[in-house]
Structure 1
């Protein structure tokens, strides 16, 4: 986060400077900088209009655009490069909207719901309209009060760009100050100010992405450009680029008569102009959409990237600028629905074909299906339905139809979850667990499936009931995590993780251990709460079956955690040159193994009874949560790719609740005689 404050404002200047130095060194480049000099003389300094307006335009009466369904479908599947990977435009738009607003849809001023892709297209082609959308979430009115703005009635609400713009300068000043404060020392309000500033800058990048297609440059009479654009007072950048071969030829003739002083002045003008152009280029690099012709180059290009190559004297061949021109034509024809659709179709087809020739974008359609299918959304709500049926079923435990319904609904929810995990594996070409988000999905599937297996052997109805709760809880956490982070959950992997072999045998094995540990903890909760609420207090078989489930899942957790930890050590030896380094993540994994061993050995030695095992399983849940999430919040160690933030409060609340339950176990041991019913 806050990447706009950690990167230089002149990110593009190194690239511009390289082109400038080539101009200065190359004799043949004289004709090129004469072009730029002539452009400047013609009044192309108008590029300064990229600065933000001092006032926000009045847009209340602007008509809301109506996108053709075919255009939306094509846009959803348009391959782009963002965050280091090729993805559909719809995925990029979804997570950007989620980051800005905390939602994956937005309502326009007419209260019509817009999909992420519709919203993104409006930002690109109708920025003044997009500024009216309440897309910026503000969690606390204090943020706006500190900026001198009047907030809405609600403490937490969404605001439009136009509402926030009057305080933009103050917001950026505060964000610049707060960015100098170490993250661990920032207040909640300071973090929100930083997030809001970062979101505002991201939004400005989108609405300015096609600025290069909109600006018109004045032409002075009797100037060089006047010879190529007679009777024209202004000209688009695209027209200059398209006419460059003819202009170059003319400049080559003029270069023979240029004096040295005029040459130096032209070079200075070139540097200034290219600096101004860089403002447009930075906006046009929010995402890249044009696959390069050279298959050895991994980085895609923005539309403007292809055009500025024409100014580079080291490039002898005229670059392919047809997509740059297509973007310009799209902007100019956006009022003509039929022509816009024709141009848009051509653009999408060309980019898709270019990506296909490079062997990229083959899974774009599958990723669009993954998000449009909402497999995790439906799985979560089906688990919720299963939980309701489970509650009704326990009122009449002998009802076989209700038991079958619970099993069937849980199975459907699990199949949807497994389908989602499988699709993610195919899309990424990776094992099921590569990110912190995916550990939630996989551990949830593991605990539910393991509960089904235990139910198959015990037929005690407890495991089946817990499957509903664990499935719902796991997907709820996954959804909250996705909404809080607001980032792509299928990112490109860091170098140390770029190995399917170790991801499969180490990470997957460890996460299976997580799922088993959480299921054991769930059994322990049922045991403790059952005793506290005196549920089936005279049914010793009930608690005996629970104890078997606790011990069995703890053994299962130990096996996979131990194997996974050893495999992780071998991987560390290959990657970092040592088997064990007492890294926080390694220590967390070791804690799980050691605690499982403690419970197993005290069970075998008859040191603890069923109550002790139940309390031990709850402690195991605490240890698993610390190893899984807690160490990532520390922000130290070699496992930096797993770091996250902002979950301390949730973890602390969870640990407090678990501590109370453990104390309840002590209360039970003092208030009633708990025999060993193993």
Structure 2
């Protein structure tokens, strides 16, 4: 193929890559529409830095408030930042998760106006009696409030339908109801602390009723219990002012019961932290050994929640006292050690930087392929090495940080596998490049890095869960996570590298970009053969180790579980390729086409079994089947292309041979 044709081909490839990247970015980011929130004032940087490392319990572990805020906003809003304006035509203000959550807690008058809820289908709004506006797919709590009751009514009805029989709209209504409920629980966390309780017996006008602190009422819990017991014993009505007080406490405590678990117990044997609502009810029902500490905790919350009108500096002082009280107990329990590390981890946005380096490497790789073995080509080659290795560093560092934070090996859930496989693919590909020095592996590495990091980001947005939370009980074994799980995951990485090399071979030879270089073809074939052997070893050892673990956990070595069958398929696929190669059934074309099919087998074992919704190993993401089928389609397309290219090549070779023979006869 001549040089202009190569430029046209690579230009088209680059265009397709940019289009795919743009579409992925559009799917993962919110719309550009900006909501006006009248009078909004951003939080001071010092305030957010103070709140950043407030420890809370969520998902079975202790984490900084910034992590909790990030995944709360991601789940409800669908992104980790939104833009608003304090006035029409004013300057845009970017709201990050921690600021968003602080508004929910302490400035609900602003929060309820923010477009915090993602609506995928406007028909949902019509179903709950809310008329869709011009905004694309983000609505505020104020927008949804008129249809709130209808939303929960529909969600309860649809919840009785088996999950597999719900249609898309029913699933979205259930998800929206869950998000609204979560938001209301967050709103209620400091609700009692902000407003206090109306005391009818203290008099006051209707506009300015007398109020009492919740903490003060908690201090009289014994007296209130005495009144209730006396009324019950004498069978007389509870005094009206006591009845009103109890109703307010119950409603306020229920509103603050599930939003934020921020109070560690002074008893180290109590693993569960408590919410403000639980603190209040435990004291009022006299079911706690920490009545004095509970009253102090609620008093600190009240002081914090009511300090904001006096200025943010005063608020910070009160919030600091509240935080110090919590941190002191968390440190005494040994549960604060990783909080600062985790807060710093999320500030850095490591994988975004890795994506940037891999994108740079992709563009440089195209330049490397176009300039060949020239001085410019050498410069491009070293540039690809530099950007790809920088991207690898920005993948490995956060993996190590996650291990320290989680106190476990790097792979424990589906998200972990993506970033770990990304690092493994880059390392394996770099080793192949060092051994072959033909630049085919080097050029593919940044492209693979881009795809895997984009997959990780799309998965995180779609799943909207904290993947550093504790694992399910059966997986809580650092020994087996280090041996079986890492071995199997490396097998996935090996299989994907094998498939990648096969794709490179088929495209280079099928499009005649290799210039008929037989040495290059042999190098690719040897690399694929070596990767098949490595993948077989890792997958086989990992499968056997998994059987030993299963026997230890479940009392049986093998149970034909979908995940076990997927691992076995990878082993059998590699065995089939090796036997067919040794038997002469697969030659160069054949081994590379089989290597491409390996991508489908690995993808099924890695992701596909989670979509089946069955089996003891179905721990992970159960959505996104369309992407699986897209990859299967790509694999099928490449295999068909390879078969056609091979047929055309054989036909041309036959024609040339016939033409040569005819010339010899004529001669």
Global fold match (TM > 0.5) = yes
Change (3 A) 1:656 1:167: same
Q: Any idea what the Cα deviations from partners look like across 1:382-420, whole Å, max 9, x if unmatched?
A: 101110111111111222111111101111110110001
Distance 2:125 2:228 in 1: 57
Distance 1:183 1:442 in 2: 32
1:157 to 137, 144, 155: 137
Residue 274 of structure 2 corresponds to residue 301 of structure 1: yes
1:382 to 339, 357, 382: 357
Q: Provide the secondary structure at the position in 2 that maps to 1:63.
A: coil
Which region of structure 1 is more displaced relative to structure 2, 61-70 or 385-394? Answer: 61-70
Distance 1:662 1:95 in 2: 40
Partner of 1:87 in structure 2? 63
Distance 2:228 2:589 in 1: 93
Tell me if structure 2 keeps the 8 A contact 1:550–1:617: yes
Tell me if structure 2 keeps the 8 A contact 1:132–1:162: yes
Tell me if structure 2 keeps the 8 A contact 1:425–1:432: yes
Distance 2:557 2:63 in 1: 36
Q: Any idea what the Cα deviations from partners look like across 1:539-573, whole Å, max 9, x if unmatched?
A: 22222211112111111111101100000000000
Partner of 1:476 in structure 2? 454
Distance 2:289 2:520 in 1: 82
2:252 to 261, 264, 280: 280
Q: TM-score, normalised by structure 1?
A: 0.84
Tell me if structure 2 keeps the 8 A contact 1:307–1:319: no
Partner of 2:626 in structure 1? 649
Report how many residues are paired.
Answer: 603
1:373 to 348, 351, 356: 348
Which region of structure 1 is more displaced relative to structure 2, 76-85 or 205-214? Answer: 205-214
Tell me if structure 1 keeps the 8 A contact 2:253–2:281: no
Partner of 1:636 in structure 2? 614
Partner of 1:549 in structure 2? 527
Partner of 1:446 in structure 2? 424
Tell me if structure 1 keeps the 8 A contact 2:199–2:245: no
For residues 85-484 of structure 1, the aligned pairs below 5 Å read: 85-110=61-86, 111-153=92-134, 156-221=136-201, 233-242=210-219, 247=223, 262=234, 265-266=237-238, 277-284=249-256, 285-313=258-286, 315=288, 318-320=291-293, 321-337=295-311, 338-398=313-373, 399-484=377-462
Tell me if structure 2 keeps the 8 A contact 1:88–1:368: yes
Tell me if structure 1 keeps the 8 A contact 2:231–2:238: no
Distance 1:539 1:322 in 2: 79
Q: Any idea what the Cα deviations from partners look like across 1:638-672, whole Å, max 9, x if unmatched?
A: 11323x22211111111112112212222233222
Tell me if structure 1 keeps the 8 A contact 2:228–2:238: no
Partner of 1:589 in structure 2? 567
Change (3 A) 1:530 1:153: farther
Tell me if structure 1 keeps the 8 A contact 2:37–2:85: no
Distance 1:166 1:318 in 2: 40
Q: Provide the secondary structure at the position in 2 that maps to 1:640.
A: coil
Q: Any idea what the Cα deviations from partners look like across 1:75-94, whole Å, max 9, x if unmatched?
A: 11110001111000000100
Which region of structure 1 is more displaced relative to structure 2, 481-490 or 98-107? Answer: 98-107
Q: TM-score, normalised by structure 2?
A: 0.86
Which has the bigger relative contact order, CA under 8 A and spacing at least 6?
A: 1
Which region of structure 1 is more displaced relative to structure 2, 583-592 or 101-110? Answer: 101-110
Q: Provide the secondary structure at the position in 1 that maps to 2:62.
A: strand
Distance 1:207 1:298 in 2: 25
Which region of structure 1 is more displaced relative to structure 2, 132-141 or 117-126? Answer: 132-141
For residues 24-35 of structure 1, the aligned pairs below 5 Å read: none
Unaligned runs of 5+ in 2: 1-34, 87-91, 654-667
Distance 1:182 1:261 in 2: 48
Distance 2:156 2:228 in 1: 46
Tell me if structure 1 keeps the 8 A contact 2:53–2:343: yes
Distance 2:233 2:246 in 1: 20
Change (3 A) 1:86 1:602: same
Shift of 1:619: 0.9
